[in-house]
Amino acid sequence: MKINVIGTSGSGKSTLARGISEKLNIPYIELDALFWRADWQGTTDEVFFARIEEKMAVSDSWVIDGNYKRSQPVKWRNIDLIVWVDYSFGRTLFQAVKRAATRAWGRQEIWAGTGNCETFRKSFFSRESIILWTLKTYRKNRRQYEALLLDPSWQHVRFVRLRSPQQTQVFLRNLTEL
């Protein structure tokens, strides 16, 4: 089973992907961890895609979280299931704010070895704010994901759209039935 969990920043993609990984005992691949380097420097697409390929090659089954639309040809080449975490705008924004505040307060390194930590200034008072990113991308992402559901190129892929934490809990509970 090859699974990609998608959704707007703050929706809970990583949490769900880790839950799927644990439930199915398959590797978890976090796209942000493959993309971000020290001092919030990204990688080139060439390096990023090579890292994705390398992680996917480790196992016949995996769950990958993250959007990075430009990586779709790589991560969706043999995809079986796309899980879209599509919570309401208010819920998603609340989760993004809560996560940013928790990370800033705890000064926790987000991806091991990068030294990247969220700060209150960066999270709440910066143009690079993850909260601002959530505000700017929520509607655009929903339009793009809805179009993907209808795109004939992906009709062979199973899509699951989760609209509430309760649906997500049921999905995880019944996951062995996929």
pTM over 0.85: yes
Give, to the nearest 10 degrees, the angle between helix 89-106 and helix 130-150: 140
Q: Which residue in 156, 171, 174 sits closest to 81, CA to CA?
A: 156
| Domain ranges, residue 76 | 2-174
pLDDT, tens digit, 9 for 90 and up, residues 17-48:
999 999 999 999 999 999 999 999 999 999 99
Residue type, 17: A
Three-state DSSP class for residue 5: strand
Cβ neighbours of 112 (radius 10 Å): 8
Number of domains composing the chain: 1
Burial of residue 86 (CB within 10 Å: 0-12, 13-18, 19+) is: buried
Assign 124 a pLDDT band (cuts: 50, 70, 90). confident
pLDDT, tens digit, 9 for 90 and up, residues 107-123:
888 888 898 888 888 88
Hey, what are 136's tokens?
């700017």
Hey, what are 16's tokens?
């769900």
Q: What is the CATH number of the domain that holds 121?
A: 3.40.50.300
